[in-house]
Copies of this chain bind each other. A is one copy, B any other.
Amino acid sequence: MEKFVYFFGNGKADGNAGMKELLGGKGANLAEMTNLGIPVPPGFTISTAVCRAYYENDRTYPSGVLNQVDENLDKLEKLMGKKLGDPEDPLLVSVRSGAAVSMPGMMDTILNLGMNDQAVRGISSQTGNPRFAWDAYRRFIQMFANVAMGMDIDVFEEILAKMKKNKGVELDTQLDAGDLEKLVGLYKQAYKKHKKEEFPQDPKKQLKAAIDAVFGSWNNPQAIKYRKINAIDGLLGTAVNVQTMVFGNFGDTSGTGVCFSRDPSTGKNVFYGEYLMNAQGEDVVAGIRTPEPISSLKKTNPEAYRKLVALKDRLENHYRDMQDMEFTLQEGELFILQTRNAKRTGAAAVKCAVDMVDEKLIDEETAVSRVSPAQLDQLFHPNIDPKQKQVMELIATGLNASPGAATGQVVFSAEEAERWVAVGQKVLLVRKETSPEDIGGMHAAEGVLTSTGGMTSHAAVVARGMGTPCVAGCKDIVITGKSFTVGGKKYKEGDWITINGTTGNVYSGKAILSVPKMTQDLTRFLSWTDKIRKSAVRPGLKDKGIVIRTNADQPNDAKVARSFGAEGIGLCRTEHMFFDDGKLEIFQEMIVSDTLEDRKAALKKLLPLQKKDFAGIFKAMNGLPVTIRLLDPPLHEFVPSTVKDIKTISDELGIKPAKLREKIANLKEANPMLGHRGCRLGITYPEIYEMQVEAIMLAACDVVKSGGDIHPEIMIPLVGTREETQIMHDRIEAVAQDVLARRKMSINYSVGTMIEIPRAAMTADEIAEHADFFSFGTNDLTQMTYGFSRDDAGSFIPLYLEQNILHHDPFSSIDISGVGRLVATAVELGRKTKPDMKMGVCGEHGGDPRSIEFFYKTGLNYVSCSPFRVPVARLAAAQAAIAART
């Protein structure tokens, strides 16, 4: 018989931390902690394999599962010396979900299971605390009815509210045992009314229904959405953990809390957490009461505090990673309910990794594996520009729940957030508190601001996971409908505000945001990634490692990228240079010229300006290679389309507007993406590329003459055939050689091509004959391989992602089986012609970690990405090298 249920308790467990896949993170850690002798309430875990089988068999269990549950329950009852439903000394258990990957708040939990009309009296007499017993019973009814039986929770909230009103009290705690007993009666009546049956008294029936509910929650809409947003797939399902209840709400010597072995916001090695006395765990997480910082416990209960510190040290040393623990004090006795590697901000991930290396807890490679590219990316999120802050009005301060600054227009529901963002607005989601249904809106928003809840509230945890800035528990703001007031001032939907999740400050108005610089920790951490990356050997490749370059068109961007570790420019788009004032007019003059002579005359005026552009880039990248792409966009992108603009240009150029309109109309295309652009312009208007190549080589000569070290790589865009490549290559060579001959100089340059058309990939062996290097333009390659116009696909890609037709947006993360297969084909064919040919990627995928791993495996020599993605790419490349080794 397959083993479906795993026991833990009494210092011994069937499972261990290595069994996360099967027992879920929570179950595996409960087993591991039990084995370590940590005080964990005993229980058992029903494996994720049962969840998988449950869904595969149309929501029924494999035979043997329920028997094993009964056996383990027997074992638990024996160990605890209590029985479920016992009228004297009843056992109460919790039933919780727990998948291999943590999905906070996504799935359902039922506490106090085992309560019934007998048990409540047993608990009451055993504890001598009837108020506690009836409170536990009414909480159980509500949770069971809602979670296991699908009843609306408002039914119970209304009954409770009515009772409080009748009694003239405000807080639940002001209700006494008698009130609560009455409440239980009313709750049971309500249950019977809605479910057409009595509230179940048989604890085994309760348990079966609770287990069903947890497995059922695996595929509830929020859980599916959460997995989707976090790209979690390939899991078997959730496990179910049935565990003896301990109570933080047993009275004033009881309490419950959440603590971290280090600060999950900053990564600093300080004990960090929150607790509430006389409360259950749900009270902390739900953010209804604002908890005390863990440091208070030191004063109020030094013994428990000492024990807790010892346990967290032990757990962190055992797992060699920052721990996130739930604990309960039951009448002064400490229990650890769960431990897991803590979710943390990007800053905390780096700080923690660097500190742990210094503390000799982990080695550098482990440190590099510990920080995800998404976490690192957070550090390059915008901050409020320091100058801006002086003039911004601080209106409130809350908890600094998720770092980074955000500015946007206020909206008050997740739905509105998604709606506004869909039409291109930037929004800040303002809520009392968020709940799992808000995930979509939180993802869409620039930032989140809540008026209640602590650092471990739903909003805070989820926002940190997403890397979305969040200020939580900002009590100063009062939300009513579609507005909030603070300091007597009203902010309506659509008003601009700014939050700083690093400080907790909230400002009125729109802010200018800036991005932080490198820190010492970051520099060290990234140097470790470089060590790994640059020493990596791949079969068949001569050079070690993969190089990180940047896409930059201006000296300033180039300098920023270099400060982030860029090792060259992989894509310098020359057309961006034409959009400067002054240059654009000359270029337009060229475009509308009737004769070759007129075109050449205009280009002659552009030559010195382009030369200056290139010289600037070369100087900024001194000593490193610079890939310059010749003109790519269709000419109509450079001419105006409005009547007014046409008038202006026609005056400037001294052309009749009618003639200019005709010229412009002639340039219009039905599908510009597939039109007259790239090297097609180079073939039909050779004079344009000739001017550009001349400018590149003249600039290179000048910079070399003044002591520079220059490696220009001239790149031909949009080739599809061997013949195009040959003609372009030969013409470029002719112009370059001519410049060098005139200058009597010799410069180390090369002439290569983009591979961005499917045909180019399919015939890369032929194209390689006339190219010194390949650079994959995966943006265009994705457009043509999928037949998706990036400008238009917005009308169906969201639905495609929702229906799982696409698992990733192919413009964000490379489509490995289609576009990727073309890239791999081209690499193989190209290297057949030139075995040591340099190949890289300059599409936006060059900054996407999953894509970088693919490019690494495929044998590319470099990736090129936007300047702020360079550190992320360095990390992703190092992780790819580690993954390829293992």
- Measured CB to CB, the residues of A under 8 A from B are 669-676, 680, 683-684, 718, 720-721, 723-724, 727, 756-759, 762-763, 766, 780, 783-789, 791-793, 795-796, 799-800, 803-806, 815, 817-819, 821-822
Residues on the B chain within 8 Å of A805, using CB: 683, 721, 723-724, 727
Residues on the B chain within 8 Å of A793, using CB: 674-676
Cα–Cα distance between A878 and B441 once the two chains are bound (Å):
63
Residues on the B chain within 8 Å of A817, using CB: 762-763, 766
Residues on the B chain within 8 Å of A787, using CB: 673-674, 718, 720, 756-759, 780, 784
Contact between A670 and B670, CB atoms less than 8 A apart: no
Select the residue from A758, A766, A787 with max chain B CB neighbours within 10 A.
A787
Cα–Cα distance between A786 and B761 once the two chains are bound (Å):
10
Residues on the B chain within 8 Å of A684, using CB: 795-796, 799
Q: How far is the CB of A675 from chain B (nearest CB, A)?
A: 4
Identify A796's interface contact among B680, B763, B799, B804, CB under 8 A: B680
Contact between A822 and B758, CB atoms less than 8 A apart: yes
Contact between B683 and A721, CB atoms less than 8 A apart: no
Contact between A796 and B676, CB atoms less than 8 A apart: yes
Cα–Cα distance between A818 and B767 once the two chains are bound (Å):
12
Q: How far is the CB of A680 from chain B (nearest CB, A)?
A: 5
Residues on the B chain within 8 Å of A757, using CB: 785-787
Residues on the B chain within 8 Å of A669, using CB: 789, 791-792
Q: How far is the CB of A505 from chain B (nearest CB, A)?
A: 40
In chain B, what residue has the closest Cβ to A780? Answer: B787
Residues on the B chain within 8 Å of A803, using CB: 683, 723, 727
In chain B, what residue has the closest Cβ to A794? Answer: B676
Cα–Cα distance between A58 and B727 once the two chains are bound (Å):
21
Q: How far is the CB of A271 from chain B (nearest CB, A)?
A: 48
Residues on the B chain within 8 Å of A799, using CB: 683-684
Residues on the B chain within 8 Å of A785, using CB: 757-759, 762, 784
Contact between B822 and A792, CB atoms less than 8 A apart: no
Cα–Cα distance between A155 and B479 once the two chains are bound (Å):
100
Contact between A671 and B791, CB atoms less than 8 A apart: yes
Residues on the B chain within 8 Å of A673, using CB: 670-671, 673-674, 787, 789
Residues on the B chain within 8 Å of A680, using CB: 796
Residues on the B chain within 8 Å of A759, using CB: 785-787, 815, 818-819
Residues on the B chain within 8 Å of A756, using CB: 787
Cα–Cα distance between A758 and B680 once the two chains are bound (Å):
21
Residues on the B chain within 8 Å of A671, using CB: 671-674, 789, 791-792
Cα–Cα distance between A642 and B402 once the two chains are bound (Å):
52
Residues on the B chain within 8 Å of A783, using CB: 674
Cα–Cα distance between A796 and B679 once the two chains are bound (Å):
11
Q: How far is the CB of A576 from chain B (nearest CB, A)?
A: 20
Contact between A804 and B676, CB atoms less than 8 A apart: no
In chain B, what residue has the closest Cβ to A674? Answer: B789
Cα–Cα distance between A788 and B677 once the two chains are bound (Å):
10
Residues on the B chain within 8 Å of A795, using CB: 675-676, 684
Cα–Cα distance between A620 and B718 once the two chains are bound (Å):
46
Cα–Cα distance between A815 and B763 once the two chains are bound (Å):
11
Cα–Cα distance between A680 and B805 once the two chains are bound (Å):
11
Cα–Cα distance between A631 and B694 once the two chains are bound (Å):
51
Residues on the B chain within 8 Å of A786, using CB: 720, 757, 759
Contact between A762 and B683, CB atoms less than 8 A apart: no
Q: Considering the complex of A and B, which 7 residue pairs feature the smallest CB-CB distances, nearest first?
A: A674-B789, A671-B789, A670-B791, A759-B818, A675-B792, A723-B805, A758-B758
Contact between A804 and B758, CB atoms less than 8 A apart: no
Cα–Cα distance between A673 and B792 once the two chains are bound (Å):
10
Cα–Cα distance between A675 and B783 once the two chains are bound (Å):
10
Cα–Cα distance between A784 and B804 once the two chains are bound (Å):
24
Cα–Cα distance between A670 and B670 once the two chains are bound (Å):
8
Residues on the B chain within 8 Å of A720, using CB: 786-788, 818
Cα–Cα distance between A684 and B798 once the two chains are bound (Å):
11
Cα–Cα distance between A795 and B674 once the two chains are bound (Å):
12
Cα–Cα distance between A720 and B817 once the two chains are bound (Å):
11
Cα–Cα distance between A29 and B520 once the two chains are bound (Å):
87
Contact between B763 and A676, CB atoms less than 8 A apart: no
Residues on the B chain within 8 Å of A818, using CB: 720-721, 758-759, 762-763
Cα–Cα distance between A723 and B786 once the two chains are bound (Å):
13
Cα–Cα distance between A818 and B784 once the two chains are bound (Å):
14
Q: A674-B674, A684-B796 are in contact. List 15 more A-B contacts (CB 8 A).
A: A669-B792, A671-B671, A674-B792, A675-B793, A676-B796, A684-B795, A720-B787, A720-B818, A721-B818, A723-B804, A759-B786, A759-B815, A759-B818, A759-B819, A763-B818
Residues on the B chain within 8 Å of A822, using CB: 758, 762
Cα–Cα distance between A92 and B815 once the two chains are bound (Å):
74
Residues on the B chain within 8 Å of A789, using CB: 669-675
Contact between A672 and B792, CB atoms less than 8 A apart: yes
Residues on the B chain within 8 Å of A672, using CB: 670-671, 789, 792
7 interchain pairs, CB-CB under 8 A: A669-B791, A675-B795, A684-B795, A723-B803, A759-B785, A762-B821, A763-B818
Cα–Cα distance between A671 and B794 once the two chains are bound (Å):
12
Given contacts A670-B673, A672-B792, A763-B817, contact A721 B806 (CB under 8 A): yes
In chain B, what residue has the closest Cβ to A822? Answer: B762
Residues on the B chain within 8 Å of A804, using CB: 723
In chain B, what residue has the closest Cβ to A668? Answer: B792
Cα–Cα distance between A788 and B758 once the two chains are bound (Å):
11
Contact between A670 and B792, CB atoms less than 8 A apart: yes
Cα–Cα distance between A821 and B720 once the two chains are bound (Å):
14
Cα–Cα distance between A683 and B669 once the two chains are bound (Å):
28
Cα–Cα distance between A45 and B826 once the two chains are bound (Å):
48
Given contacts A724-B805, A787-B784, contact A796 B670 (CB under 8 A): no
Select the residue from A784, A792, A793, A822 with max chain B CB neighbours within 10 A.
A792
Select the residue from A671, A683, A780, A803 with max chain B CB neighbours within 10 A.
A671
Q: How far is the CB of A479 from chain B (nearest CB, A)?
A: 33
Cα–Cα distance between A756 and B787 once the two chains are bound (Å):
9
Q: How far is the CB of A233 from chain B (nearest CB, A)?
A: 14
Residues on the B chain within 8 Å of A806, using CB: 721, 723
Residues on the B chain within 8 Å of A791, using CB: 669-671
In chain B, what residue has the closest Cβ to A724? Answer: B805
In chain B, what residue has the closest Cβ to A805? Answer: B723
Cα–Cα distance between A822 and B762 once the two chains are bound (Å):
8
In chain B, what residue has the closest Cβ to A820? Answer: B762
Select the residue from A675, A684, A757, A762 with max chain B CB neighbours within 10 A.
A762
Cα–Cα distance between A66 and B271 once the two chains are bound (Å):
100
Residues on the B chain within 8 Å of A670, using CB: 672-673, 789, 791-792
Residues on the B chain within 8 Å of A819, using CB: 759
Contact between A800 and B762, CB atoms less than 8 A apart: no
Residues on the B chain within 8 Å of A675, using CB: 789, 792-793, 795
Q: How far is the CB of A811 from chain B (nearest CB, A)?
A: 13
In chain B, what residue has the closest Cβ to A726? Answer: B805
